[in-house]
Amino acid sequence: MVYSGSNMIAFQHWTHPMETPAHLPKSLWAATAPEAIGAGALPGDLDVDVTIVGAGFTGLRAALVLAQAGTRVAVLEAGDIGWGASGRNGGQVNPMLPFNGPDRLKSLVGPRYLDRLAEVSLNSADELFELIRTHQIACDARQNGWLRVDHCRKVQASSRANAERWNQFGANMTYVSGSDLHALTGSKIYHSGVLAPKGGAVQPLALARGVARAAHNAGAQIFTHSPVTALAQDRNRWVATTRKGRVRSHWVILATNGYTGDLLPGLSQTIIPICPVQIATDPLPDEVIREILPKGQTISDTRRVIMYARREPDNRMVFGGHGKMNRAGEIVGHDWLIKDAMRIFPQLRGVDWSYRWGGTIAITQDRLPHLHEPKPGLLVGLGYNGRGVAMSHVMGRVLAERVLGAAPDSLPFPVTPVRPIRFRGSQMLGKGLAIGWMKLLDRIETAIG
Ligand SMILES: Cc1cc2nc3c(=O)[nH]c(=O)nc-3n(C[C@H](O)[C@H](O)[C@H](O)COP(=O)(O)OP(=O)(O)OC[C@H]3O[C@@H](n4cnc5c(N)ncnc54)[C@H](O)[C@@H]3O)c2cc1C
């Protein structure tokens, strides 16, 4: 932290690494989403009640709730609307935190927050689909269910037991196996799994642009190509500095997730950024795709190096999985995913994968989303661990409710200190090296059956 003058505290100046993002990567979503509202860079100084850094799902949902409540709000985004993970993800709406069962969650947060987190996460898909209906957002939204399939017999019993435990909180999941599962998936690789009926899919960039439009219509000001390079406190106001202007406000919400830099010292040290990848085909002929996910559920498997997939209404297939960033800053790993897609669905052999892209997400040490309030008037919400499509919308709403007066201990997420991950550098290195090892373990278990 830099102290400059008696009554001003300034966090270190920082340059967003994607200062001039020229365009979105070649994603299916960028090619098919409706136009975004025309938002330009912040042209000069501005006074508002709340400044939000980041125009992904978290920041945009917070902006919408705040603007609807009559709050003056400005969103500052380094790239375009949905430029980060929100415009690049798999679009799977999974109503569950990344915990196999509630017991681990209870051991981390205790019974009070277990009940709250179970409630918001299991209802998160309903909340999102309701938001989409209310604002009539055209984003191919469908709530056909999510299939979580077991990659080997070893996990069958525990995944069934965990589903039953979640059902005690109202998850309403059903066990599916054998020919019933084969008929739902169109794959002979998986023999058992659970169906979560509230899950579904969206076109994520269309959703981000739709929420931005709703927030704009409610009165929020959204500025793109406006990276915040410094955040300072001047008397009882926060000052966010961009290239051409500064925004002064009583509150600041940092909604930067996997793209978090050093705007708030130590914050980037609380997450491990990782880069999943996506691939998509063009619309496929009926004879190729007929049997694959015929009822339109989304699917993901239980492997350590996960695969998730969806079939589009226009007969495209979209897959997601692990990737990585190479030294040149490019996200790679698509070729492995293509091979994996053809192993699971041999019907796809020989098809063209027209779209390949990726993005960055935030992994937290405890796999929980984090809500911080490190200083009066400064809020942070991040760390969805790859399950953020629905959950980041919940977080955005909750951050807005905090600004609007909700007490910290009434929130569904515990308000935690900004605590850097110990030995983060080695953990990041370890995670990179461990991917190969995890793939090997997955392969052995899958082969054994
Ligand atoms: C390839 C991929 C697949 C995924 N698949 C799924 C899925 O199927 N289901 C699911 O639930 N989740 C999925 N996720 C995760 C999900 O996309 C994220 O959890 C969610 O979008 C996070 O939203 P956010 O608004 O918090 O962050 P983001 O959407 O990443 O937004 C953060 C924004 O902050 C901006 N920013 C950062 N620093 C600054 C600054 N200094 N000034 C101004 N702006 C700044 C960035 O430019 C960025 O646009 C996936 C993610 C990826 C990358």
Q: What is the pLDDT of residues 97-117, one digit of tens each?
A: 877 688 889 999 999 999 999
| Range(s) of the domain holding residue 208 | 2-89+204-271+365-418
User: Which residue's CA is the nearest one to ligand 1's atom 53?
Assistant: 359
Instruction: Report the residue among 15, 83, 86 best suited for mutation to probe ligand 1: largest number of ligand atoms under 8 A from its CB.
Output: 86
Share of the chain above pLDDT 70, in %: 93
CA of 244 to the centre of ligand 1 (A): 25
How many domains does one find in the chain? 1
Q: How far is the CA of 56 from the centre of ligand 1 (A)?
A: 6
Which CATH number is 257's domain given? Answer: 3.50.50.60
How many CB atoms sit inside 10 A of residue 94's CB? 26
Other Cβ atoms less than 10 A from the Cβ of 107: the count is 9
Distance 258 CA to ligand 1 centre (A): 6
Domain-embedded: residue 211:
yes
Cα 229–chain centre separation? 24
Element (H, E) at 260: none
- Ligand 1 atom 49: the closest Cα is on which residue? 84
What is the per-residue pLDDT for 21? 46
The reply to whether 71 falls in a domain is yes
Give 285 Cα–ligand 1 centroid separation in angstroms. Answer: 33
- Looking at the CA of residue 275, tell me the nearest atom of ligand 1: 53
Q: 100 lies in a domain?
A: no
Nearest CA to ligand 1 atom 3: 89
**Cα gap 281→342, rounded to integer Å:** 12
Mean pLDDT of the chain: 91
The segments of the chain whose pLDDT lies below 70 read 1-25, 100, 429-433
Within a domain: 214 = yes
The answer to whether position 342 is within a domain reads no
Residue 430 has a pLDDT of: 67
| Residue 139 included in any domain | no
Domain-embedded: residue 259: yes
Residue 104 lies inside a defined structural domain of this protein: no
Q: Does the Cβ of 228 fall within 6 Å of ligand 1? A: yes
Distance 55 CA to ligand 1 centre (A): 9
Q: Which of 127, 253, 310, 392 to mutate to test the pocket of ligand 1 (most atoms within 8 A of CB)?
A: 392
Torsion of CA 198, 410, 231, 385, to 10 degrees: -30
